[in-house]
Amino acid sequence: MMMIKRLALMGSTGSIGQQSLEVVRQHPDNFVVNVLAANNCSNILISQAKEFRPKVVAIANEAHYPQLKAALDGLGIELVAGDKALAETCSLPEIDMVVAAIVGFAGLRPVVEALNSGKHIALANKETLVVAGEWVMNKAKKINVDILPIDSEHSAIFQCLEGEKLNPVEKIILTGSGGPFRGMNAEKLKNISPTDALRHPNWSMGPKITVDSASLMNKGLEVIEAKYLFNLDPSQIEVIIHPQSIIHSLVQFADGSIKAQMGLPDMRLPIQYALSYPQRLPSSFPRFDFMRYPSLTFEKPDTLTFRSLNLAYQALRKGGNMACILNAANEIAVHAFLNHYLPFLHIPRIIEQCMEKIPFLSAPSLSDLYETDRLTREFATSLIQT
């Protein structure tokens, strides 16, 4: 029997946040949510607070505090606002595990706070490992806490590695659907709109990761995430396009044997696995039926058209703060694209210019990484405005 796990859910109103709560709803004897945290006070957050009755609700945007207070008045829930107070909820004694499901660099601070207070982490926020993978993994190892991946590819690899701890890995193969623009050339992508990019064929996700999936930057970020999670050399990480998104990723061992993890594309599965690890809990999620997928297909990624994937490999090989620069530039560029300030194909151009211009640090501290993020955002924004 599993002890009841007490969760702090960072980014509760997002795609991963809401699906995490679906998992909790299915297993009320296994999980309790003691903290809900999001950027703004939305109707979603209010109804989550009323349903789950956490001890604390945190919002990053302080301007929304009065609205939150009015909506949850009299429920006996403590309310906090601002980045610092939000991150500090991760260290509360009533928390066993932090679910890191904030999007972007903003997700780093709560993870740092969680690690500094010895909490286990179910990690969706891949940007945390892209930016500060070395710090995060070293810290987790030192204090002996688990970093359990929610990202479906990494969950797949983690599952394939179970029971194989002493066996050498030759390489891992990350699969990607190829996104909505698979097969298109640069000419066709010239006038792509945010609405086109937000139409992902297999997954329904938040807007930032959906654009990253369309540009293949998502796969690039996942390559970096995999390097740190599984302690691999960049040359051991391969990407293949698998449009059906049924094989979630694969591990090839020293003897040539390959293990794959499969299932329908449904994030509730990797979320539940991360929350309940090392146990598997039952679920009523739809089952995969081989007869409905008579062919699973594979192709090479088109890295000439979708340049972001190679930029990510480049940043990974360079090390230091380069992936932090890549990430910040990408966040600014994606935001600009979503707001119609930047054409889709200019996203890698902005990233490239930032990687050239922002000072490189080979062994950055955490505070160096915060500074790199700030400088890169400033420079990327200036590139877009001119």
**Given phi > 0 = left and psi -120 to 50 = alpha, else beta, which region is 82?**
left
Is residue 267 close enough to count as binding ligand NAD by CB under 6 A? yes
Is the separation of the CB atoms in 268 and 201 below 8 Å? no
Best CA proximity match to 114, nearest among 268, 104, 102: 102
Q: Which stretch binds ligand NAD (CB under 6 A): 95-103, 253-261, 316-324, 341-349?
A: 95-103
Sorted by sequence, the CB contacts under 8 Å of residue 301 that are 6+ apart come out as 176, 178, 216, 219, 239, 240, 241, 309
> Binding partner of residue 301 among Mg ion, ligand NAD, none, CB under 5 to 8 Å per kind?
none
Binding mask 123-152 for ligand NAD (x = CB under 6 A): -xxxx-----------------------x-
Within a 13 Å sphere around the CA of 149, how many CA atoms are in the beta-carbon half? 25
- Nearest to ligand NAD by Cβ — which residue? 14
Is residue 272 close enough to count as binding ligand NAD by CB under 6 A? no
Q: Which stretch binds ligand NAD (CB under 6 A): 203-211, 324-332, 347-355, 372-380?
A: 203-211
Options 5, 6, 17, 379; binder of ligand NAD; rule CB under 6 A: 17
> Binding partner of residue 192 among Mg ion, ligand NAD, none, CB under 5 to 8 Å per kind?
none
Is residue 302 close enough to count as binding Mg ion by CB under 5 A? no
**Given phi > 0 = left and psi -120 to 50 = alpha, else beta, which region is 144?**
left
Residue 300 to residue 103: CA distance in whole angstroms: 28
Q: In angstroms, give the least distance from the CB of 221 to ligand NAD.
A: 7
Residue 356 to residue 261: CA distance in whole angstroms: 38
Options 113, 127, 151, 373; binder of Mg ion; rule CB under 5 A: 151
Options 21, 36, 49, 60; binder of ligand NAD; rule CB under 6 A: 60
Is residue 15 close enough to count as binding ligand NAD by CB under 6 A? yes
Residue 41 to residue 80: CA distance in whole angstroms: 11
Within a 13 Å sphere around the CA of 211, how many CA atoms are in the beta-carbon half? 26
Nearer to ligand NAD, 25 or 188 (CB): 25
CA angle 360, 147, 162 (to 5 degrees): 120
Is residue 102 close enough to count as binding ligand NAD by CB under 6 A? yes
The residue count for binding Mg ion (CB under 5 A) is: 3
> What are the CA-CA distances from residue 138 to residues 45, 125, 135, 325, 341 (Å)?
34, 17, 5, 21, 39
The residue count for binding ligand NAD (CB under 6 A) is: 27
> What are the CA-CA distances from residue 17 to residues 101, 321, 379 (Å)?
6, 29, 31
Nearer to ligand NAD, 217 or 375 (CB): 217
User: Pairing relation of β-strands 169-176 and 247-253?
Assistant: antiparallel
Is residue 212 close enough to count as binding Mg ion by CB under 5 A? no
Residues 217-236 that bind ligand NAD (CB under 6 A): none
Options 32, 134, 198, 203; binder of ligand NAD; rule CB under 6 A: 203
Q: Which stretch binds ligand NAD (CB under 6 A): 72-80, 121-129, 135-143, 286-294?
A: 121-129
Is the separation of the CB atoms in 313 and 220 below 8 Å? yes
Q: In angstroms, give the least distance from the CB of 131 to ligand NAD.
A: 11
**Given phi > 0 = left and psi -120 to 50 = alpha, else beta, which region is 53?**
left
> Binding partner of residue 119 among Mg ion, ligand NAD, none, CB under 5 to 8 Å per kind?
none
> 3-class SS at 239?
strand
Is residue 179 close enough to count as binding ligand NAD by CB under 6 A? no
Interface ranges with Mg ion (CB under 5 A): 151-153
In the complex, which residues of this chain contact ligand NAD (CB under 6 A)? 11-17, 38-39, 60, 86, 101-103, 106-107, 124-127, 151, 203, 205-206, 208-209, 267
